[in-house]
Structure 1
Amino acid sequence: MINDRIHKLIRVLDMNPTSFSESLEVSVTVIFNIIKGRRSKPSYDLILNILQTYEKLNPAWLIKGEGSMWNDDIVTSAEIAPSQVNLQSRIRELFVKMRLDHPDSHEVFELEELVTFMMDETVEQKHKLILLHERQEGMLKVLKERLKLKV
């Protein structure tokens, strides 16, 4: 059911209904009614809004539950979660200010490099977990077949 897929998308994005509704610029009530409350069907406009906001989201997965969640195997944080992009932008702004305040500080540059590396690694690990989660049923099926296990 599309409501369940929207709820899963919210979890995968590591968001809650409020932050998800803010990313789409819709009322949180709309999202709650879809995933919890009345279990209303999402409107065409809302589905289009989700697909435009999360461009790498696979429309076939969202609408029909077919295929993988994302169009690409590896997507960047900018392509997934606006909240992550906001965090990265804020960190970049802080480093710009720190470099202006301490132009000769080698430590500021080292810290910026380390934080950037850690953020990239975190995003990469999150994507790997998302892909693993999406593919777990298929992997279990293959293992059961190869091990000749009865279901």
Structure 2
Amino acid sequence: MVERIRQLIEYTGLSASQFADRIEVPRAILSHILSGRNKPSLDVILKVISNYRTINPDWLLLGEGEMLNKVAAPVAPESPVTIVEPIHEAPDQAAEALRDKVQNSITHETIALADSNPEKTVKQIVFFYTDNTFSVYGPES
């Protein structure tokens, strides 16, 4: 597991000290893990997994599978990407404006998808934020 933690640190592009700070673990603890003096505690492993949600826990814990979780394949790779400009409004207004933009985009994409495959519809959209929170949006009932 120590080697996989080293690979993760290398993948993030952080130094060991920066990585320790990022996962909120004392630098000495990470140093002891990397030197082989101590094995990672459950607390350290949970902090790694909670801070790096894209990391496959099976890979980290057992060395099985790929380092990164599989991401759903794009629904329509040939469809254009919609770029959303930054929103300079109050947080509630910004969320509402973003939801409207996304809903309009979803509507257009859904129409395009319906033409190519009538069985495919948008089920939900999840936004992941840098503070490790997320919002889930789905079709209105």
TM-score (norm 2): 0.49
Higher strand share: 2
Query: Which structure: greater helix fraction?
Result: 1
